[in-house]
Every structure is written in C-alpha cells, then in structure tokens.
Amino acid sequence: MKGKSFTFLVLFCYASLSAGLNAQRSGTIVMEDVERAHFRKEILIPDIAGYLTLKCDFHMHTVFSDGNVWPTVRVDEAWEDGLDAISITDHIEGHPKKLPGQKHNGYEIALPSAQMRDIILIKGGEISRNMPPGHFNALFVSDVNALDLPDYMDALGEAVRQGGFVIWNHPGWRRQQPDTTKWMPEHEDIYRKGWMHGIEVFNEKEWYPEAVQWALEKDLAITGHSDIHESYNYKYNTDLYPVRPLTLVFARERSEASIKEAMFARRTATLFFNRLVGKKEFIDPLVSQSVKVEPSHFSHEGYLYFNIRNSSDIEFTFLKESADSSELPARFVLPRRGTLVLRAKQVKGKAQNYLYRLENVLTGVEEHPVFMIRVQ
Ligand SMILES: [Zn+2]
Ligand SMILES: [Zn+2]
C-alpha cells in the first residue's frame, strides 16, 4: 500500500511539472528566476554608548570623471554592501577621461536611487592637484562646480566657505610620494588655516602609518575609503574580504546633519580589510561590545573550557602579551560572527586573567588595545 501511494505521488509530481513547463508553446517565455536576488548584506558593527556606528565610504568615482560606472551603480553597490552613507567624489578639474564641458552632476543623478534605498548621499568632489599638496575631498559642499578654480588654495577656501569638510586623500600615494610619506609646508599651510579636517589612513589598497600619527597629533578625523573607479565586485576579493573599507562615523542619529556634526567633532574610525584604526576612546568600546568571554561551561582533566564570541563583522587577531602556564594559545584569530572554544589549565578556586594584544587593531602607530580574557 505504502509503495503504491509513493509511485502515485511521483507520477503526479512529474505530470504537474511537465504541465507547468509545457504550458506555453509559443510567444516569448520569460524566465523570471534567472535574475539574481538583490538583498542588503548588513554589516554587523556594534553601536557604542551614546552613538550609532554608521558605515560609510566617502570616496568613489563615476563616469563624471575617470570612473567606469554610472552614479546610480554606486548607490546599488552601497546598498547591497550594507553601507549607511556614501559620497560620490569625482575629480573636480578637467580629466583626460572627462567628457568636454561635463558638469558635476553625479550627485543629482544618484539622489533619487539613494532616497529610495535609504542611503545617505553626501555631495562632494575631489580637488585633485599634483603633489604638493595632492588630492583633497570636499564633503557636504553645496556647489561642486564652484570649486573648479585654478589655485588650489582658492578651491579649498571655497569648499570651506560652503561649509565643506576637507580630507587629505591618500597622503602616501606611491605615484605622488614614492619614497616616503611627508607632511610638506603646503600641508602645514592648509592645516594652519583650519582647512584640513580629516585624513585618509587607508585608500584603495594602501595604508599609511604616518597618517595615523598625524591624525592623532593634529586632531584630524581618521578615515578610510575605497576610492573605487570600476565596479566594486570587479575589483576586490569579496570572498576573502566581504566587508568593504569603511569610515566608521559615531553619530547621534542616522542623518546627514548628524554625520557632518560627528565628523567635525572627529568621532570617526576606519575599518579596512580586517584592520581597525581609531582613537582609543572609540576603539575600546567597539571591541568590548563585539567580543564577549563567557564563564566556563565544562571542566575536564584539569582544563576549563569556555566560549569567546564575536558578534561583529570585524575579525580579531589575539596575541598573548606574555608566556604563562595556562596553555591558552599564544596567537589566535577570532573570525567575524564566530565563536571559539578555548581551554585553559584550571587554577583551583580562582578566576585568572590573561592579557592579549589585538594585533589587527591600532589606536596609535604601534599601539594596540589589550584585551583581558578572564577564565572562571
Ligand atoms: Zn585622488
Ligand atoms: Zn579619488
């Protein structure tokens, strides 16, 4: 009896399947399911006390300078990649790839898609000069075309007059500073005028230790951006690195005005390809919100077993500060959204603290936060 009903079921399914496939025998047959689904891959980075942690990329190009894509593509990518805010920062000056007479209206073209997707789109442009002084992004400006002035000081001054936030881009770009990363008299001049508000610690696939130093010494906002020219997925190894380079902005609200306020107040950090760089006051809470050590759940043959959980998309590399008899690993990687079971030699009746340095997290040029693993 069982066998019979099974055969019947198989026949029935086969019959209805072939009926479905053969329902239409002429005309255009549209195969709706061949298109890929579009969904937002949320990036998990915890908020910190008093602030939302917004995920932003403030440096990217389109066909309105030397990029390969239409402005709306930047919004599509940003939405799928889980970003909160972006800025399209095409080169302001003439560029060989720029079409003659072309004005900067990447922002205007992308704005409706950004509004539909709830992506905060910040108006900006890249003032792009030879070194010195190099390239600068002007964000939150009202009229990008008005920044196209022959003298770079006039261009920067106009950006500031418009309420713009100015970032020194890729300060150690090999094409412009092949040997070292130098702070030149021209940069000092701009800085002293109060016209340099932030600096890129990371750009495309380069990062600059000197920029970390300057950001901390001179109180510049720490930023990191893709400076993407082609399509994002075409360029980067997204299997190995699913999270885009980000400027993290610690904002009171998820709005353009709040981002602007936070950036002028220097409440930023950057996460790029498993490296997290920022001031201690923001990095410490980010780490403690992300990583939790649980009390041991099992003891066996003199060892305590316990979980260490990472609820964020930031991978952490732990390096033990000093040798001890715990038999905890000297170095281990806690993957993003991952939990590891660790075991430590049991010390009778006493909780033990072990100190690890987070190798991939920087709060200064050679400064790493210390994470305490409490075994109990
Ligand atoms: Zn540039
Ligand atoms: Zn650029």
Is 160 a domain residue?
Answer: yes
- Whether the predicted pLDDT of 22 surpasses 80: no
Give the ligand at the shortest distance from the Cα of 229.
2
The number of folded domains in the chain is 2
Ligand nearest to the CA of 125: 2
Question: Which of 213, 243, 278 marks a domain boundary?
Answer: 278
The least confident of 115-129, 173-187, 231-245, 332-346 is 173-187
CA of 118 to the centre of ligand 1 (A): 27
Residue 370 belongs to domain with CATH number:
2.60.40
Nearest ligand, CA 134: 1
Q: How far is CA 40 from CA 79, 80, 236, 237, in A?
A: 6, 4, 18, 18
pLDDT 10s digits, 77-113 = 999 999 999 999 999 986 767 777 777 889 999 999 9
In a domain, 251, yes or no: yes
Q: Are residues 172 and 205 in the same domain?
A: yes
Within a domain: 12: no
* Residues, CB-to-ion distance under 5 Å, ligand 2: 126, 227
**pLDDT at residue number 104:** 81
CA of 175 to the centre of ligand 1 (A): 10
- My answer on whether 149 and 251 are in the same domain is yes
The arithmetic mean of pLDDT across residues 152-164, rounded, is 98
Residue-range definition of the domain harbouring residue 311: 291-375
**18: pLDDT confidence band, cut at 50, 70 and 90?**
low
* 31 in a structural domain: no
Q: Are residues 266 and 318 in the same domain?
A: no
pLDDT digits (tens, 9 = 90+) for 219-267: 999 999 999 999 999 999 999 999 999 999 999 999 999 999 999 999 9
215 and 67 in a single domain? The answer is: yes
Ordered DSSP codes for 109-166: HHHHHHHHHT-EEEEEEEEE-STTT-EEEEES-S-GGGG--SSHHHHHHHHHHTT-EE
CA of 314 to the centre of ligand 2 (A): 25
Instruction: Indicate if 104 and 189 belong to the same structural domain.
Output: yes
Q: Are 84 and 216 in a shared domain?
A: yes
> Is the domain of 253 the same as that of 349?
no
Q: Which ligand is nearest to the CA of 228?
A: 2
**Domain match, 329 and 197 both:** no
Residue 229 C-alpha to ligand 2 middle, in angstroms? 8
Note the ligand closest to the C-alpha atom of 175.
Answer: 1
pLDDT value of position 1 = 44
Q: Calculate the alpha carbon distances from 23 to 18, 19, 35, 149 in Å.
A: 8, 6, 21, 65
Q: What is the rounded average pLDDT for all residues in the chain?
A: 93
If asked whether residues 100 and 206 sit together in one domain, one would say yes
Cα separation of 46 and 279, whole Å?
Answer: 16
